[in-house]
Amino acid sequence: MNIKKLIFSGIFGLFAVTSCQKVINLDLKDSTPQYVIEGQVNKGDSVHVISITKSSLFSGSNTFPTVSGAIVSITDNLGNSEVLTEVEPGKYKTAHLIAYEGRSYSLNVQVDGKTFTASSTIPSQVNLDYIFFIPDSFNEGAYTPIPIRQDPAGIQNNYLFDLYLKRSGDTAWIRDSAIMVGDDVFSDGVTTEQPLFGQLGKFMPKDSLMITLKCIDRSVYKYFYSLSLNGPNGSATPANPVSNISGGAIGYFSAQTKQTVKVEVQP
């Protein structure tokens, strides 16, 4: 659609909204609630968490019922396995399954006569070397964080960032709701200086910033990338992003590296 058609459509739409008072009743159909599985296996950790809920009806409240009584297990490609313990409704944890870089991990969930499976491999870790700041072009006196990493040449790498902010004088961290993913399709083997903007607003001097860099496999990247396309804040899981879970559930299972760096915002 060219720009003239867009302008005409906008004018027509505005005219329709301001000129017509007729109430239009939309017959929005509810879809069957689906199982939502979300979990991570982090390099070096022995405790890993899998959460299981159900999606809500379109006409219902924006709450997601937890799913109890599932049999959940994680197995690596060397045969090490653990059955997870339900520590609270819908939340299942391991206790001693240590995760290693380069190993593949398989998730198996059995609940209500259904079986859901997923697999993911922990990629090679790429380090977040340091973070520097440049002046924010849109907010006077504020700064934009730029995490620096050296991408390895000849290897496909996929990244997921979590961003947290603690305002000067506050004690609580605020998690950014934005989904920030990246890959090295156009930056293979180079030092990457990619600004993080997010949804938290201005980053002011003396604020504290915490950035977690996760190296994820391609299937998990596709999940978060497709989720990010639903809007600036992402979307609820029922928007059906590309999942690596088979059997009819939605969500994701990620075996990954995880590195966190804390800094103070400064020029």
Residue 8 has pLDDT above 80, yes or no: no
Rg of the chain over CA atoms, in angstroms? 22
Q: What is the 3-state secondary structure (H, E, C) of 203-220?
A: ECCCCEEEEEEEEECHHH
Residues 215 and 149 in one domain: yes
Query: Which range, 31-35, 53-57, 109-113, 230-234, has the best average confidence (pLDDT)?
Result: 109-113
pLDDT at 3: 38
**Which of 28-37, 235-244, 253-262 holds the top average pLDDT?**
253-262
Supply φ then ψ for residue 77, to 5 degrees: -75, 0
Q: Which pLDDT tens digit goes with each residue over 143-168?
A: 999 999 999 999 999 999 999 999 99
Average pLDDT score over the chain = 86
Q: Is 198 left (phi over 0), alpha (psi -120 to 50) or beta?
A: left
How many domains in the chain? 2
Across the chain, which distance is largest between two alpha carbons, in Å? 68
Looking at the structure, do residues 132 and 117 belong to the same domain, yes or no?
no
For residue 152, give the CATH number of its domain. Answer: 2.60.40
- Which helix (H) or strand (E) segment holds residue 39: the answer is strand 35-42
- Among 141-150, 188-197, 226-235, the range scoring the smallest mean pLDDT is 226-235
- Report the alpha-carbon distance of residue 32 to residue 12 in Å, rounded: 36
Domain annotation covers residue 171: yes
Question: How many Cβ atoms sit within 10 Å of the Cβ of residue 148?
Answer: 14
Q: Which two tokens stand for residue 201?
A: 């607003």
Beta bridge partners, 38, equal 51, 252
The domain boundary residue, chosen from 95, 121, 147? 121
